[in-house]
Amino acid sequence: MRVWFLSAALALMCMAQTATAGTILIVGDSISAAFGLDTRLGWVSLLEQRLKEQGYDDKVVNASISGDTSAGGLARLPALLAEHKPEVVIVELGGNDGLRGQLPAQLKQNLAGMIDASQQAGAKVLLLGMQLPPNYGARYTQSFAAVYAELGKEKKVTLVPFFLEGVGGKPELMQADRIHPAVGAQGLLLDNVWPALKPLL
């Protein structure tokens, strides 16, 4: 009888562990797609390792595409939500919008659409903010950066103000193109994300 109770307890523990395991969907651009690197060395792969090391069973789906914009992410998101049914959606987009000089108002509209769709699907959202180099002009760079802060407040989502904090502008942490983070920066990117992501798991 005692053995039966122990077996039942173990079974319940396993069921509870399975029930709490969810899916983290990452919709991003080349930074999350590990452009120019072995994907096994990118920050998303490092995230998978950290989850396992800290006892999380969550599955990570990396739906990032190099060159993608907020419009592209918005268009792709409904099918991704339907297929993967994530508990958490990490949105890492906007850099390519800025590099192309697209209007911050359009960026905000697209990202807001992604947040709304994710929340309506029952997912928590983590928004990774981006900033542009100063050579794009003070007015544009300020308006661009403000999009993320405004959305964080208006949509009540968790925000990492600047995903490339401690990485951007440091040649030793960037690839030769000075746009994409190098291998040595990937752990820093994860460290920028982790404190904001962990409470959502």
For residue 21, name the pLDDT band (cuts at 50, 70, 90).
confident
In a domain, 102, yes or no: yes
Query: Of 30, 32, 45, 70, which residue is the catalytic one?
Result: 30
In a domain, 97, yes or no: yes
**Residues 60-106: pLDDT tens digits?**
999 999 999 999 999 999 999 999 999 999 999 999 999 999 999 99
Q: Are 28 and 72 in contact (CB under 8 A)?
A: no
* 58, two tokens: 């969550």
In a domain, 6, yes or no: no
29 in active site? no
Residue 18 has pLDDT above 70, yes or no: no
30 in active site? yes
CA distance 180 to 177: 7
Closest CA to 163 of 59, 51, 26: 26
For the domain that residue 57 is a member of, what is the CATH number? Answer: 3.40.50.1110
In a domain, 7, yes or no: no
Q: What is the model's pTM? A: 0.90
Q: Are 121 and 84 in contact (CB under 8 A)?
A: no
Q: Which residues constitute the domain of residue 87?
A: 23-200
**Residues 22-75: pLDDT tens digits?**
999 999 999 999 999 999 999 999 999 999 999 999 999 999 999 999 999 999
177 in active site? yes
In a domain, 146, yes or no: yes
Q: Are 88 and 123 in contact (CB under 8 A)?
A: yes
In a domain, 1, yes or no: no
Per-residue confidence (pLDDT) for residue 20, from 0 to 100: 60
* Pairing assessment for the beta strands 59-62 and 158-160 based on DSSP bridges: unpaired
Mean confidence (pLDDT) of the chain: 92
Q: What is the dihedral of CA 113, 35, 193, 117, to 10 degrees?
A: 20
In total, how many domains does the chain have?
Answer: 1
- Structure-token match 């907020």, residue found: 70
Closest CA to 95 of 144, 130, 137: 130
In a domain, 16, yes or no: no
In a domain, 15, yes or no: no
In degrees rounded to 5, what are phi and psi of residue 23? Answer: -120, 135
| DSSP SS3 for 103 | coil
Query: Of 32, 68, 118, 180, which residue is the catalytic one?
Result: 180
40 CB-near residues (< 8 Å, 6+ apart) = none
